[in-house]
With several copies, the nearest count.
Chain A
Amino acid sequence: MLKPMSVRILYFAALADRLGVRSEHVELPPGIVSVDGLRTHLAARGGVWADLGTFPKLRAAVNQRMAGGDAPIQAGDEVAFFPPVTGG
């Protein structure tokens, strides 16, 4: 039997404001292997989390590097979701 996978998740800027959460640790069921998979899983929690699924132009990073939706995730990873960046 597969063990649950623990990942740290961070939210920033307008997304964090919307969710009311800036970071969390989650135990993922087996079968969630990508950024998009994680996003779908989190959005399925319902309520405000549904917004994570529909947030426009959502960006992600895995272990502090920009990552596309099909980027793999593993136990212990730090995954971040945020709007397009506006620094400089």
Chain B
Amino acid sequence: MYLSVQREDFDVGAELARLRESSAGATTAGGAEAGAIACFVGLVRADNLGEEVRALTLEHYPGMTERALAETIEQAQQRFPLIAVRVIHRYGRLNLGEQIVFVGVSAHHRQAAFSACEFIMDDLKTRAPFWKKEETTRGERWVEARDSDTAARARWEA
């Protein structure tokens, strides 16, 4: 597991290369190697609920953020047979189109990789202590939590 909460941008290609490296075990051991990598990147979108967003600032709760993300990853590892997981979440001011979050997961089979990647995003959205303040054409405003995110997380308990 690798987890980082950082102000700086990240290089998705480099992150995926590291995920691949940490997923390739000793070839003689048999079975340690990944057949599937799923990844997700969240970006700052221009248009949120009809108003134009120019940038956003992500506030977070240092310490608790890392703890919450680690718990999310541990839950994913308990639920799905995974080989390696990398999660990066940025904070601070981000412009339109910038990268916010990276989730990369490797597994023997694609369904575990897809499910874990989606689970991590759904869990993180309802648990990790980040708050977005948007700069729109009509001024600043804090983003409201979405019921759809709560519903997305609830699917995993059905």
A10 touches B144 (CB 8 A): no
Task: Report the interface size for chain B: residues with CB under 8 A from the other chain.
Answer: 30
Collect the chain A residues with CB atoms within 8 Å of residue B63's CB: 64
Collect the chain A residues with CB atoms within 8 Å of residue B32's CB: none
Collect the chain B residues with CB atoms within 8 Å of residue A83's CB: 131, 142, 145
Count the A-B residue pairs with Cβ separation under 8 angstroms: how many?
Answer: 76
Collect the chain A residues with CB atoms within 8 Å of residue B125's CB: 85-88
Expressed in whole angstroms, the minimum distance between the Cβ of A85 and any Cβ of chain B is 5
Which of B6-14, B19-27, B54-62 touches A?
A: B54-62
Given known pairs A64-B61, A83-B145, the reply for A12 and B131 (CB within 8 Å) is yes
A32 at the interface (CB under 8 A from B): no
Given known pairs A14-B142, A65-B67, the reply for A87 and B130 (CB within 8 Å) is yes
Given known pairs A82-B131, A85-B127, A86-B132, the reply for A64 and B144 (CB within 8 Å) is no
A3 at the interface (CB under 8 A from B): no
Chain A contact residues (Cβ within 8 angstroms of B): what range?
Answer: 10 to 19
A66 at the interface (CB under 8 A from B): yes
Collect the chain A residues with CB atoms within 8 Å of residue B64's CB: 61, 64-65, 80
Complexed CA–CA distance, A66 and B126 (Å): 11
Question: B residues engaging A (CB < 8 A)?
Answer: 42, 58-61, 63-64, 67-68, 89, 100-101, 110, 121, 124-133, 142-146, 149
Question: A residues engaging B (CB < 8 A)?
Answer: 10, 12-14, 17, 57, 61, 64-66, 80, 82-88
